[in-house]
Amino acid sequence: MDRQSVITDEATALAQIRDGMTVALGGFITAQHSMALIRGIAKRGIKGLRVVAGLSSALEVDLLIGCGCVQRLATAYVGAEATVPIGPFFKKAAEDQTIDLWECDEIILMAMLQATAAGIPFFPVRGGMGTDLPHLNKDLKEFRDPIHNDPLLAVPAMKIDVAVTHAYCADPYGNVQYAGNTFADGLIHRAAEKTITTVEKVVPTAYIRRDPFKTLYTADFIVRSPFGAHPYSCHGEYIEDDEHLKGYANAANLATKGDDSAWKVYRNQFIDTPEDHMDYLEQIGVKKLFSLNEF
């Protein structure tokens, strides 16, 4: 009996994600989202997802909203900072109330993940008291601490079916290492029942063993996806593709204002037509990709 590789293809990985599931996405604002799989979710038209975007999202959840995949969204932010101050589809869906928002800030989101990871029903926090978050998010409950009677906010755990993260590398047995910041990915992995990780590189286990302290978690499925975070950055490999982000935001913006011609073109070119991530990268082109290399 041999040790089994957990490296799989996109289709097998995506088959783990089904309509109505709660899916937690890794990365932080414009870094390290598993776009290879997120585009795959959109292409397959998976519906009714309850998305947890931790620590904070960029526009990857905006894209999922635009493609009709999202029923509920837990996130503290949707945007790409100065490049795209707010996600267009998110803005419209929030204004029209076509998605449920689990309103929170980043630390309340982490408290939820921490409760889930620790197998406890809730995590107590001070942040958010006095704000409108408990009014907007009925899952948050003010209570008195049982020891000193201090006022606190109880943030409940949330069952998370699948975590989808992107990392620098993994070995064939799912040991995942990052080249830079890991953000909340270690916590997200521990909060989820199952983890799928796309990686820039598959490395031999000997590479992992050079510094086992760098292994952040052991994923259940690994998908080989160079440039898998494009148009977002992957520490140690490439930076954001601002031009692509602006193109996306422009198309999405027009679509929310009733003109979906540019969005149809974007969606066709980058989501629906490409068979898989490699096909998508062909659309982006080698020159563009390697122009993004960091340092």
Which residues of the shown chain bind a copy of itself in the complex (CB under 8 A)? 118-126, 139, 141, 143, 145-148, 150, 152, 154, 156, 180, 213-214
Q: How far is the CB of 172 from a copy of itself (least distance, A)?
A: 24
> 1 contacts which partner out of a copy of itself, another protein, none, CB within 5 to 8 A by kind?
another protein
Rounded distance, CA 2 to CA 210, Å? 23
Q: Which is nearer to another protein, 173 or 272 (CB)?
A: 173
Residues 185-214 that bind another protein (CB under 8 A): 186-187, 190, 205, 208-209, 212-213
Q: Which is nearer to another protein, 150 or 282 (CB)?
A: 150
Residues 153-182 that bind another protein (CB under 8 A): 171, 173, 175, 180-182
Region of 11-19, 85-93, 261-269, 276-284 interacting with another protein (CB under 8 A)? 85-93
Q: How far is the CB of 63 from another protein (least distance, A)?
A: 16
Q: Is residue 142 classed as helix, strand or coil in its secondary structure?
A: strand
Amino acid letter at 166?
H
> 289 contacts which partner out of another protein, a copy of itself, none, CB within 5 to 8 A by kind?
none
Rounded distance, CA 25 to CA 15, Å? 16
C-alpha torsion 232→51→278→197, nearest 10 = 90
Give residues with Cβ within 8 angstroms of 52, minimum separation 6: 22, 23, 24, 25, 74, 75, 102, 109, 112, 113, 158, 160, 188
Instruction: By CB under 8 A, tell whether 71 contacts another protein.
Output: no
Q: Please provide the size of the chain in residues.
A: 295
Q: How far is the CB of 156 from a copy of itself (least distance, A)?
A: 5
Instruction: By CB under 8 A, tell whether 235 contacts another protein.
Output: yes
Q: Which is nearer to another protein, 46 or 177 (CB)?
A: 177
Query: Using CB under 8 A, which of 9, 19, 81, 259 touches another protein?
Result: 81
Query: Using CB under 8 A, which of 20, 45, 48, 85 touches another protein?
Result: 85
Strand partners, 238: 234, 293
Rounded distance, CA 207 to CA 201, Å? 11
User: Which helix (DSSP H) or strand (DSSP E) does residue 275 occupy?
Assistant: none
Q: Which is nearer to a copy of itself, 11 or 129 (CB)?
A: 129
Token pair for 198:
């796309």
Binding-site string for another protein from residue 115 to residue 134, where x marks contact by CB under 8 A and - marks none: --xxx-----xxxxxxxxx-
- Own/partner long-range contacts of 140-147 (Cβ < 8 Å, ≥24 apart): 140/104, 140/108
Give residues with Cβ within 8 angstroms of 81, minimum separation 6: 29, 30
Q: How far is the CB of 103 from a copy of itself (least distance, A)?
A: 17
Q: Which is nearer to another protein, 13 or 188 (CB)?
A: 188
Query: Using CB under 8 A, which of 215, 247, 278, 289 touches another protein?
Result: 215
Q: Which is nearer to another protein, 207 or 250 (CB)?
A: 207
Under a CB-based contact definition with an 8 Å cutoff, are residues 122 and 76 in contact? no
Q: How far is the CB of 232 from another protein (least distance, A)?
A: 9
Give residues with Cβ within 8 angstroms of 93, minimum separation 6: 65, 70, 99
